[in-house]
Amino acid sequence: MKQPIYQRTVADLLEALQVTEQGLSEQQVQERLVKQGKNVLNQQQTSSLLQKFLAQFKDFMIIVLLVAALIAGMTGEVVDAIIILVVVVLNAVFGVFQEAKAEEAINALKEMSAPNASVRRGGEIVTVKSEDLVPGDVVLLEAGDIIPADLRLIEVASLKVEESALTGESVPVDKSADQLDTADLAIGDRTNMAFMNSNVTYGRATGLVVATGMQTEVGRIAGMIEAADETTTPLQANLTQLGKSLTILILIIAAIVFGMGMWRQTESLVDMLLTAISLAVAAIPEGLPAIVTITLALGTQRMAKRHAIVRKLPAVETLGSTDIIASDKTGTLTQNKMTVEKVYRNLQLVDAHKQHFQQTDRLAQVMILSNDTKVTTEGLTGDPTETALVQYQLDQDFSVDQLLSAMPRVGEIPFDSERKLMTTVHPLADGRYLIAVKGAPDELLKRVTQIELKDAVYPLETSTREQILNTNHDMATQALRVLAFAYRIVPDVPTDLTSATTEQDLIFAGLVGMIDPERPEVEQAVADAKSAGIRALMITGDHRDTAAAIATRLGIIDKGETDAVITGAELDDMDDATFAKRVGDFAVYARVAPEHKVRIVNAWQRHGKVVAMTGDGVNDAPALKAADIGIGMGITGTEVSKGASDMILADDNFSTIVVAVEEGRKVFANIQKAIQYLLSANLGEVLTLFMMTMLGWQILAPVHILWINLVTDTLPAIALGIEPMEKNIMRQPPRGRQSNFFSGGVLTGILYQGLLEGVITLGVYWFAITYPVHSAANLAHADALTMAFATLGLIQLFHAFNSKSIHGSLFTVGLFKNKFFNWAILIAFGLLAATILIPGLNGMFHVTHLDGHQWATVLVASFLMVVIVEIVKFFQRRVLK
C-alpha cells in the first residue's frame, strides 16, 4: 500500500517529484502540464433553459395529460384540450423558474480557487496563475493567501490555516513541517499538509505541490458531487405512482362504458366514443399538476419570508416527510466564532459575563497584549481565538486602545507549534517591563513558579498546580478551548529574547475557556424536532470530546451518553452492512471526512428514512447532494454547498429548518386534501356515467362532464392547497418514505365519498324521472338530466368543505378562515348555475330551467354529502383514538 504523503519525509518527496527546494525548471513545468493537465476542477455541463423546459415533460402524469389533450382535440373537444395544455405548460414554467435560480456546485468550486500563486521556479520567485501549477512546484504562502493546490509543507513559520469549509473545524489549525508517523489520519489531523481552497490566517510557509486539480482533496469532493445520483423525492414518487394507477383504472372503466353502450345500442358509435373519451378526460385530475405546483410555489414564498429559500419545488414537500436531520456543527449548530465563556482566576472558575476587570488587572492586560489582533474602524481582524479575547474585554468596557497606547510592544517571541506559547514585551510606567505570555496550559505551567491571588503573588504549590491542571481538563471536556496566561516583570528587555531566557519563572494569572458557541435558538429547535418525531444528528470534523459536549448542550444526546458518539476512524472499521445495522445507535459523528457523511446519509436511507442534511462547507457538498434534501447555509455557506443544496437558509438559523419542516407538512397535507377532493369528485363522475350506462338510462353528455370537471377541479381544488395549518401538525410522527397520498385513510375516503356522490346523483335522477314535473317524456328526461347535472356539480362544491380536513370536523377547522376558498366556491357555483339560469347558455349545455321545488331537491341532496361525511369522520376519530 502506498505510503500517505504526510508520513513521508521532505527529502523523499523532493526525490520522488524530481525537484529541489529551488523549484522546477520551465521545461519540467511544461512537460508536467502536458501530462497532468491544468490545476482546475472539471467544469460541470449546464443545461439550457430550453433543455430544462423540455425536461419538465418527462413526468408520467404530464405525458398522460398530453395524450388526453391530443385525443380531446382530435375528437372536437378543443376547449378542454387547450385547458389541459395551458395547465401543463404553466407547470413546466414553474419548474424551470425554480431550477434556473442556482449555480452549479462544481462550477462554484472553481470560483473558490486562488487566481494566482507565488512559486519558486529555477531559484527565482515568480507569480503564476494557479491553474498552471504542477506537482513539484514550490509554493510560498503568507497570511491572507488562498492555498492554490494540495501542499506538503517543507518550511513553516507560525503557520495557521483555516480549514472549516473542508474539515468542519471552526478554529484555524497550527501547521508544521514535521513528518507524521500515525497512519489513517483525518484531514484535520494532517498538520504538515495544506489543502486547496483553504485560507492562511497567520504566519508564513513554503510548500511542495503534491496534488492538483481533481487529484486534490477538494477535487475528490467535486468528483463525489459529480458522481452522486439525484434522489427521487417522495412527492415525485407518489405522483408517478398515482399517474400510472389512474391511467390503468381510467382506461379500463372507459373501455367498459364504451363496450356497454355499444352492446345496449342506446347511443351511436361516435357518441359513445366521445362519452368514453370525455369520461377518461374527466377522470384524469388534469388540474393536479398545477395544484401541486401552485401549492408548492406558494409554500416556497411563505418559506422565503421565513428565511428558507427553496431551489427545487419538490423539496418543500420532502421536508414534511423528514425523519432525520443530519446537521453539520460549525456555522450551523454553532455560530462559527470563538467566544470567551469561562474565566479561571484566583482559583475560582466563573462564567465570563460575571467576571469584571479593572484596567490594571494583569490577566486582562496579558489577554490583550500577548495578542496579534488588529483593532480597526471596521472591527477586529486576526486569528479567531485572539480576536475573541480582545472582543471579550471590549464587551467588558475595558479600554483596549488606551492599554495598547500606554504599553506598546517592544519585543516578542512568536507562537510556534512546538512550544505552544506566545510572548510579548511591554514597558511599564515605572520603567520596568512586562513579559506577557499565553499558550497551552500544560506547556505554560512547566514555566510557572508563582501565582497571583487577589493582586498578591505567592509561590505555586504542587497541590495548586494540580488543581489548575484538573480545572483545565474539566473545561476541555466541556468543549472549551483553554488558554493559560502568565506574566513576569523584569528591569530590562532581555538582550537575548529566547524562550530559555524569557519564558521562565512566570507568574500564573489565570485560564480562559473559549468555545464556538451554539446558536441560542438551536436547543429549542432540536427539542421541537424531537416532539415532531424527527431525530437530529450532529456531524462534525471536531474532536470527539468537543462534539459530545456540544451535542449534550444542545439536547442531541443525554449527558454521559458516550456510546452515541462515533469517530470517522471507528466508522472506517465498519463495513456498510454492519454500519447500516448499527446506524440507529449513533447521534454524533466526530472527526469525519466527506465520504463518511455520504455513508451516514446512505445508511439511514437504506432503512427507508427520509434524510435532510445541513451544511455550509465544501466538505458537506457530496452529502448534501446525496440526501433527500440538502440544506445549505446562506450567510456562511460556500457557493459549493449552496449549489449542491435543495434549500438554503438565508439566516443560517437552525430553527428555520423546523419552520420549513412544518411548512412541508402543511404542503403535503393540503396536496393530500386536494387529491382526496379531486379523485373522489372524479370517481363520482365516473360512477355516475358507468351506472347510468349499466342501467340503460339516458346519460349525461360529454359537455356536462367536462364543464363540471372544469368548474370544480380548478379554483376549489387550488384553494384547498392554501388551507391554514391544522393544529398539532408538528406533534405527529413523520409519515416516512413508504407513505403516499392515499395513506391515513385517504384511499378509503376517496372510495366511499366518490361512491356517495354517484349514488346521490343517480338518486336525484331517479327521483326526477319517477316524479316528473312535466308529463311529456322528453321534458321529464331533460329535467332529470338537468337536476343530475346540477347535483353532480353542486355536491362537489359542498364536498370541498368536507375536504378541508381528512379526519377533522368541518366545524373545528374553520368554515370561513380561507378567504380564497370562499371566493372559489362562490365563483364555481356562479359558473355552474349560469349554465342553467342564463338563457342561451342553457341551450348550449342542453339543460332546462328548474323551478323552486327542483332546486330545493338538488340543494338538499347535495348538502347530504356534508352530513354523511361528518358522521363518518366522527366515527373515524373515535376509532383513531
Type of residue numbered 256: I
Task: Identify the band that residue 98 occupies on the pLDDT scale cut at 50, 70 and 90.
Answer: very low
**553 lies in the same domain as 585:** yes
Q: What amino acid occupies position 750?
A: I
Residue 282: its pLDDT value, please? Answer: 59
Quickly tell me which residue has 322528453 as its cell. 778
611-615 and 629-633 strand pairing: parallel
- In three-state secondary structure terms, 202 is strand
Least confident span in 301-310, 532-541, 595-604, 774-783: 774-783
Q: What is the CATH number of the domain that holds 82?
A: 2.70.150.10
Residue 710 and residue 783 in one domain = yes
DSSP secondary structure string, 394-424?
HHTT--HHHHHHHS---EEE---TTT-EEEE
How far apart (Å, rounded) are the C-alpha atoms in residues 48 and 70?
Answer: 27
Identify the pLDDT of residue 238: 66
**Do 214 and 239 belong to one domain?**
no
Q: Tell me the mean pLDDT in the region 303-329.
A: 81
CB 321 within 8 A of CB 664: yes
DSSP secondary structure letter of residue 829: H
Residue 97 has pLDDT above 60, yes or no: no
Given a contact cutoff of 8 angstroms between Cβ atoms, the answer to whether 530 and 322 are in contact is no
Residues 90 and 16 in one domain: yes
Whether residues 100 and 162 fall in one domain: yes
Separation of alpha carbons 122 and 866, rounded Å = 88
**Residue 315: closest CA among 615, 630, 662, 47:** 630
Tell me what pLDDT residue 814 has: 73
- pLDDT per residue as tens digits for the range 745-760: 888 888 899 999 999 9
The answer to whether 765 and 788 are in contact (CB under 8 A) is: yes
Q: Give me the residue label for grid cell 511599564.
A: 428
Phi and psi at residue 474, to the nearest 5°: -60, -40
Q: Decide: helix, strand or coil at residue 590.
A: strand
Answer yes or no: do 296 and 180 share one domain: no
- Is 192 part of a structural domain of the chain? yes
Report CA-CA distances (Å) from 322 to 441, 497, 531, 645, 764. Answer: 44, 60, 13, 15, 46
* pLDDT more than 70, % of the chain: 83
The amino acid occupying position 692 is M
pLDDT at residue 111 is higher than 60: no
> Percentage of residues in the chain with pLDDT exceeding 90?
30
| pLDDT of 330 strictly over 60 | yes
Q: Are residues 251 and 150 in the same domain?
A: no
Q: Are 475 and 349 in contact (CB under 8 A)?
A: yes
Cβ atoms of 2 and 96 within 8 Å: the answer is: no
Residue closest to 508 by CA, chosen among 542, 461, 558: 461
- Mean pLDDT is lowest, of 85-89, 145-149, 295-299, 581-585, for 85-89
Residue 663 lies in a domain: no
Find residue 61's DSSP bridge partners. Answer: none
CA separation for the pair 374, 381 (Å, rounded): 5
C-beta separation of 636 from 168 below 8 A: no
Cβ neighbours around 609 below 10 Å, total: 20
| CATH classification of the domain holding 329 | 3.40.50.1000
Residue 514: strand pairing partners: 340, 481
Question: Which tens digits make up the pLDDT trace of 212-226?
Answer: 988 888 887 777 666
Which is catalytic among the residues 328, 383, 516, 542? 328
Grid-cell match 442534511, residue found: 613
pLDDT digits (tens, 9 = 90+) for 25-56: 999 999 999 888 888 876 555 566 677 677 76
The pLDDT, as a whole number, for residue 187 is 81
Q: Three-state SS for 761?
A: helix
Angle, CA of 309, 312 and 318, to the nearest 5°? 90
Given a contact cutoff of 8 angstroms between Cβ atoms, the answer to whether 163 and 173 are in contact is yes
Q: In the structure, what pLDDT confidence band is assigned to residue 827 with cuts at 50, 70 and 90?
A: very high
Alpha-carbon gap, residue 815 to 866, rounded angstroms? 12
Q: Provide mean pLDDT across the span 542-554.
A: 86
271 is catalytic: no
User: Which one, of 767, 772, 762, 794, lies nearest residue 863 by Cα?
Assistant: 794
Please give the pLDDT value at position 432.
Answer: 95
The dihedral region occupied by 310, where left means phi > 0, alpha psi between -120 and 50, and beta the remainder, is beta
Give bridge partners of residue 345 from the DSSP assignment.
348
pLDDT for the residue 436: 97
Q: Does one domain contain both 494 and 527? A: no
| In 68-222, beta strands by DSSP E | 116-121, 124-129, 138-142, 150-162, 173-174, 193-194, 199-211
Instruction: Report, as an integer, the average pLDDT of 81-100.
Output: 60
Whole-number pLDDT of residue 299: 77
Mean pLDDT to the nearest integer, 432-455: 94
Q: Which helix (H) or strand (E) element contains residue 18?
A: none
Cα R_g (the chain), whole angstroms: 36
DSSP 468-492: HHHHHHHHHHTT-EEEEEEEEEESS
pLDDT at 76 > cutoff 90 = no
C-alpha cell at 599: 455513508
* Biggest alpha carbon–alpha carbon distance for the chain: 126
> Per mean pLDDT, which of 94-103, 378-387, 401-410 is the most reliable?
401-410
Between CA 598 and CA 603 the distance in angstroms is 9
Residues 679 and 591 grouped into a single domain: no
Query: Is residue 444 within a helix (H) or strand (E), and if so which, with residue range?
Result: helix 441-445
- 293 and 148 belong to one structural domain: no
Q: What pLDDT sits at residue 151? A: 94
If one counts the domains in the chain, the total is 4
Domain edge (last residue) among 225, 255, 282: 225
Where does a domain end: 208, 225, 242?
Answer: 225
558, pLDDT greater than 80: yes
* Separation CA 441–CA 486 (nearest Å): 10
CA dihedral angle for residue 711, residue 714, residue 716, residue 722, rounded to 10 degrees:
-170
At residue 493, does pLDDT exceed 80?
A: yes
| pLDDT at res. 138 | 93
Scanning the structure block, which residue is given the C-alpha cell 468543549? 479
Distance CA 454, CA 345 (A): 9
Dihedral sign computed on CA atoms, order 606, 612, 617, 618: positive
Indicate if the pLDDT at residue 9 is higher than 60.
Answer: yes
> Which stretches of 17-59 are DSSP H helices?
26-36, 49-55
Query: Would the pLDDT of 856 be above 90?
Result: yes
Can you state the percent helix, strand and coil of the chain, rounding each to 5? Answer: 55, 15, 30
Residues linked to residue 206 through DSSP beta bridges, in sequence order: 140, 155
- Give domain status of residue 851, yes or no: yes
pLDDT at 534: 92
Give me the mean pLDDT over the 721-737 stretch: 81
Residue where a domain stops, chosen among 225, 259, 283:
225
503 in a structural domain: yes
Task: Write phi, then psi, for 450 (nearest 5 degrees).
Answer: -135, 170
The answer to whether residue 729 sits within a structural domain is no
In the numeric block, the cell 502506498 is attached to 2
How many CA atoms does the CB half-sphere of 260 hold within 13 Å? Answer: 18
Taken in order 419, 421, 422, 424, the sign of the CA dihedral is negative
pLDDT at 607 over 60: yes
Give pTM, 2 decimals. Answer: 0.67
C-alpha distances out from residue 408 to 427, 494, 787, Å? 7, 16, 97
Distance, in Å, from the CA atom of 316 to the CA atom of 661, rounded to the nearest integer, reads 8
- Does pLDDT of 699 surpass 60? yes
Task: Please provide the average confidence, as pLDDT, over all residues in the chain.
Answer: 82
Question: What is the DSSP track for 604-647?
Answer: HHHTT--EEEEE-SGGGHHHHHHSSEEEEESSS--HHHHHT-SE
pLDDT for 105 = 37
Q: Which residues contact 849 (CB under 8 A, 6 or more apart)?
A: 836, 837, 842
In a domain, 312, yes or no: no
Weakest-pLDDT range from 329-333, 730-734, 821-825: 329-333
In the block, residue with C-alpha cell 415525485: 236
Q: What is the pLDDT of residue 880?
A: 64
Crossing angle of the two packed helices 746-770 and 655-695, in degrees rounded to 10: 30
What local confidence, expressed as pLDDT, does residue 654 receive? 78
3 state DSSP class of 438: strand
Q: Which three cell numbers stand for residue 175?
A: 501547521
| Highest mean pLDDT, choosing among 188-202, 220-234, 446-460 | 446-460
* Structural domain containing residue 99: 1-225
Report if residue 67 sits inside a domain: yes
Residue 364 CA, chain-centre distance (Å), reads: 42
Does any domain span residue 313?
no
617 and 598 share a domain? yes
* pLDDT value of residue 112: 41
Give yes or no for a contact between 169 and 542, defined as CB atoms under 8 angstroms apart.
Answer: yes
316 vs 379: CA distance, rounded Å: 39
**Parallel, antiparallel, or unpaired: how do β-strands 308-310 and 456-459 relate?**
unpaired
Give the highest mean pLDDT range of 161-170, 728-737, 865-874. Answer: 865-874
Looking up residue 433, the CATH number of its domain turns out to be 3.40.1110.10
* Average pLDDT over every residue of 597-619: 86
The residue ranges of DSSP E strands in 259-328, in sequence order, are: 308-310, 324-328
Please provide the distance, in angstroms rounded to a whole number, between the alpha carbons at the two ends of the chain. 62
Sequence-ordered list of residues with C-beta below 8 angstroms from that of 792, at least 6 positions apart, any chain: 684, 685, 688, 700, 704, 708, 757, 761
H or E element, residue 448: strand 448-453
184 and 45 both lie in a single domain:
yes
Q: What is the pLDDT of residue 113?
A: 45
Cβ neighbour number for residue 266 with a 10 Å cutoff: 16
Least confident of 166-180, 654-668, 692-706, 795-809: 692-706
Q: 630 forms bridges with which residues in the sheet?
A: 613
Query: Residue 504: its pLDDT value, please?
Result: 93
In this prediction, residue 433 carries a pLDDT of 95
**What would the mean pLDDT of 178-199 be, rounded to a whole number?**
85
pLDDT at 651 exceeding the cut of 80: no
